[in-house]
Amino acid sequence: MIKFYYNAAPNPMKVALLLEELGLAYEPIPIDTRKGDQHTAAFEKINPNKKVPVIIEDGLRVFDSNAILLYLADREKRFAPQDMASNERGVMLSWLMFIASGIGPFSGQSVHFRYAAPEPKEYALNRYDFEANRHWKIIDDHLKNSRYMLGNDYSIVDMAFWGWARLLPYVLGTGDSTWSTYPNIKRLLDEVNQRPAAARAEALRTKHTFKTENDEEAQRHMFPQNARLKK
């Protein structure tokens, strides 16, 4: 059985969705980052980068959400084009890496500087908010003429998209008005949300109680870099 180290953040939830879509048996193991679970010696052996998600099965370990998506999809030969020399495979890799290197990092930094960074933060927030919106507009424009990220085929790219799109109003700080700006994202998000596997993935949030308080302990574990600022 797969051991799935996770929390309810966007990147682990992508993997939860794929595990549910594939119908694979897995044991969810919570890593509460606000309590510092990611910094334990035991978890560092599992992922030296001290982040979730990670999967382990029969001694095989894969970390990084997009690597896990690609590994499982290729192993099961589902939700990803399997002809390695095909145009479809190239397009899939391009959009998957676009989400990995653009959507995820810029959305994450938009959240950090919007909600967590101390003042002054105008310059940094402006940069990451601009880039987050720029990347999401590329996705929205693409979806004007495409049912899914890869045309008519539901894939791991849609699952990677779903992990972050669920939180887009929070990411951009724009509330319900987000969807009038990005209607095509909302259309695809709604379609994925209607899948039974998405409901099962979301139910993981209720299986374990994660700390929600953003107190001094949480700040210390989530943002260890701040210790360098103390004189």
**Complete domains list, the chain, with CATH:** 2-78+201-229 (3.40.30.10), 87-194 (1.20.1050.10)
> Between 10-22 and 156-165, two packed helices, what is the crossing angle to 10 degrees?
140
Alpha carbon dihedral 159, 165, 171, 172, in 10-degree steps, equals 140
Q: What is the pLDDT of residue 112?
A: 97
Tell me the per-residue pLDDT of 9-39, one tens digit each, with 9 for 90 and over.
Answer: 999 999 999 999 999 999 999 999 999 999 9
What confidence tens digit (pLDDT) does each residue in 197-227 have?
999 999 998 888 899 998 989 999 999 998 9
Q: What is the pLDDT of residues 161-199, one digit of tens each?
A: 999 999 999 999 999 999 999 999 999 999 999 999 999
Q: Which residue in 29, 35, 62, 59 sits closest to 47, CA to CA?
A: 62
β-bridge mates for residue 61, sequence order: 56
Collapse the DSSP code of 60 into the 3-class scheme (helix H, G, I; strand E, B; otherwise coil) and give the result.
strand
pLDDT for 51 equals: 97
The answer, yes or no, to whether residue 231 has pLDDT greater than 80, is no
**CA distances, 218 to each of 3, 175, 207, 210, 222 (Å):** 25, 25, 21, 11, 6
Residue where the block lists tokens 């939700």: 79
Question: What number is the average pLDDT over the span 82-89?
Answer: 98
